[in-house]
Chains A and B, each alone.
Chain A
């Protein structure tokens, strides 16, 4: 049953990585604006200049 020590260690370690990732995202401002990207992705890019309509 000693495997449990190892497994718990692994799970806590994994969870810590996720927590760290969340902190990093928070600090780098990724969660500051949660609304604008939802509109931005709906707009099409236009690399080729389209002819005047």
Chain B
């Protein structure tokens, strides 16, 4: 079969009706014309599967409003108060006048404190306070895990974990405390950070952390932590903490199998796709991972 034309977009032009009359007449005389015409006509008879787009839109709306609630303090705090009730899968109870909030795997909880200050708990974190103290004007909360605070101006506001504490008057900051790891990032105002062996005041854009008694400081430009919008990010953070964060977000168990957990990782991982998250972290670190039959993820050095 001979080609109708050597021009490399000839058929495209013909299909879209952009050929000149003369060209079309010539083409009609060629042997393949009818076959081409039949291909186009036949294609018309083929159906693309139908999607109920109305339903799809509703799904999107529902999903987005769900997600919006967890990050609601950014556009509108009023939503977040509702969200803290709606999303409250953790528990509150009054025991010894302790009010406790606990988030599950992959959950974020928005909390409004008695003075109107706000806290957002990252996955698998716990925050509690003694209501008594607050009635007396002492603003103290206890934290195990990670939380972002937006504090109203007033008396000293303190976040405590064992011997570490963060004190402020009114500002925005993120605290992450787990065993042997204490990290504070200040997003607004001034924050006083105190540990066993150190005490330091940091301001907007500054960050500090204490890993096994060694202090590190750095700067950053974000206006709020990225985990609030569904992506955890790290700067030169030991792999140990990154893995812990991953486990909390996805409810998985990761076996390190001799991988050096003190190696540092800079980067992030997404909260909505485990496989992507694993690739992002471990590809960068040159570490292999496999899902085992018993539900854990095993690491090995490349």
**Do A and B actually bind?**
no
